[in-house]
Amino acid sequence: MSNNVKHRTTCRLCNHSALELVVPIAATPVADAFVTREKLNEKQECYPLDMYQCLSCGHVQLLDVVSPKVLFCSNYSYFSGNSPGLVKHFQEYAEGVIRKNGLDQGRLAIDIGSNDGTFLKFFKNFGMKVLGIDPAENIARHANAAGIETLPEFLTKDLAAKICGERGGAQMVSANNVFAHTDDMAGMLESIRELLAPDGIFVFEVSYLADVMDKMLLGSIFHEHVCYHSVTPLQKFMQAHGMELIDVERVSIQGGSLICTAQKAGGKRAVSPSVGDMLSYEKQRNLCSPVTLKAFSRELESMRSEISGVLHKLHQQGKTIAGFGAARGGTLLIYHFNMGEILKFIVDDSPDKQNLYSPGYHIPVLPTKALYEQKPDYAFLLAWVHTKPIIRSNQAYLEQGGQFITCFPQVVIVNKDTTPFW
């Protein structure tokens, strides 16, 4: 196997070695590693993306860990503050955390993976002292310039001890969408525990396994995202590290996520009924059993064979097929549904993606007007979560005889005579 990937043999949360392959997925290159014309000669390696479940705690995870030097070589320039939907979500989330946990002005709030400081800004506005930690130097610089003090570093136990020594323990530590992205989950949780004051809370947002399955959120399956969290294994993981889960809230961001709150074991806050409710819900759904994950896998397999069948038949008939949407999630679809040799080009509304080439197969990404100029017979919606708005804004493509293919909740071919559902 390549030096760029290592296969772990124990559960990332409980360290048990009984792990079962539950959802086999085609190996893909790093999902957002779109390349420029100059790099077309460089072959991009594919890495395994299979999902495993721990038979001891039920945690679902990737075991193949791609080296950070490969994962983060793509130009990382995502700023939370540029997404109005995310800013609004962070505001409601932050205000909820302050209110529900009775946080105090003048105390310290720390965000891990703080990006441009969008989340911390709401704690600062409330009157707390804030500190961001984010290893992406360009983003940390931007945050500092905007008045959110940010250390351009990875969180380690040493760094946590240093911060605590200098500033005292934090009343709130948060980690949003990063608490599923590290291979060393135990090390991360221990560092976070180190940062907390005795009355401190740890809040984190992660995408929720049940939503990934129910809504086929294939876009959330990618190499950096090594953990697919559910409450049952998380609660045990917290307990094993001297922490206690005290609240869980389901939110709709990113197709379905959990906001979890934890404190040091025996802390002053009472455990909310939401924790027990979620544990019962997961028990009733049998979410920690391979039987459930394997049912999801069969559903995915049946979707794969249907889509692959439809596309190959059209291809053999000489029809031209384009893809719509050059997002990270498309890479899994292209590989798993075997359409790399079939898509002539991909269109995307975002100028950032245009004139690049898709990871691995190097399919050209063109502006959306290519649908009207090159007139492909079909456009497959790689960004199918946005099916309705895409069809709504491209009625003219249907009028000119083009047809959209969307794949969820079922495979549907849309032409100008289709009864509108968008």
> By the criterion CB under 5 A, which residues form the site for Zn ion?
11, 13-14, 16, 54, 56-57, 59
DSSP state of 61: E
Which is closer to Zn ion, CB of 18 or CB of 161?
Answer: 18
Which is closer to Zn ion, CB of 56 or CB of 257?
Answer: 56
Which is closer to Zn ion, CB of 56 or CB of 114?
Answer: 56
Q: Map 318-351 to HEC letters.
A: CCCEEEECCCHHHHHHHHHCCCCCCEEEEECCCC
> Where does residue 196 fall: left (phi above 0), alpha (psi -120 to 50 degrees), or beta otherwise?
beta
Give the Cα separation of 354 and 381 in Å (integer).
17
Which is closer to Zn ion, CB of 63 or CB of 109?
Answer: 63
126, with CB counted inside 10 A (0-12, 13-18, 19+), is middle
Which is closer to Zn ion, CB of 5 or CB of 14?
Answer: 14
- What is the nearest approach in angstroms of Zn ion to the Cβ of residue 221? 19
Which is closer to Zn ion, CB of 30 or CB of 210?
Answer: 210
- What is the nearest approach in angstroms of Zn ion to the Cβ of residue 279? 16
DSSP state of 53: E
Which is closer to Zn ion, CB of 57 or CB of 243?
Answer: 57
Which is closer to Zn ion, CB of 18 or CB of 265?
Answer: 18
Q: How many CB atoms lie within 10 A of CB 47?
A: 21
Residue for token digits 């945050």? 143
- What is the nearest approach in angstroms of Zn ion to the Cβ of residue 342? 39
Element (H or E) spanning 379, and its range? strand 378-381
Give the Cα separation of 113 and 140 in Å (integer).
10
Give the Cα separation of 264 and 282 in Å (integer).
24
- What is the nearest approach in angstroms of Zn ion to the Cβ of residue 64? 17
Query: For the chain, first and last CA: distance in Å?
Result: 45
- What is the nearest approach in angstroms of Zn ion to the Cβ of residue 290? 13
- What is the nearest approach in angstroms of Zn ion to the Cβ of residue 283? 17
Strand order in the sheet with 170-176: 150-151, 129-133, 108-112, 170-176, 196-207, 257-264, 243-251
Buried b (16+ CB within 10 A) or exposed e, 129-156: bbbbbbebeebbebbbeeebebbbeebe
- What is the nearest approach in angstroms of Zn ion to the Cβ of residue 234? 11
- What is the nearest approach in angstroms of Zn ion to the Cβ of residue 19? 8
Q: Nearest CA to 130 among 173, 191, 69, 183?
A: 173
CB half-sphere exposure, 175, CA atoms < 13 A: 20
- What is the nearest approach in angstroms of Zn ion to the Cβ of residue 86? 31
Which is closer to Zn ion, CB of 7 or CB of 16?
Answer: 16
Angle between helices 118-126 and 84-101 (to 10 degrees): 40
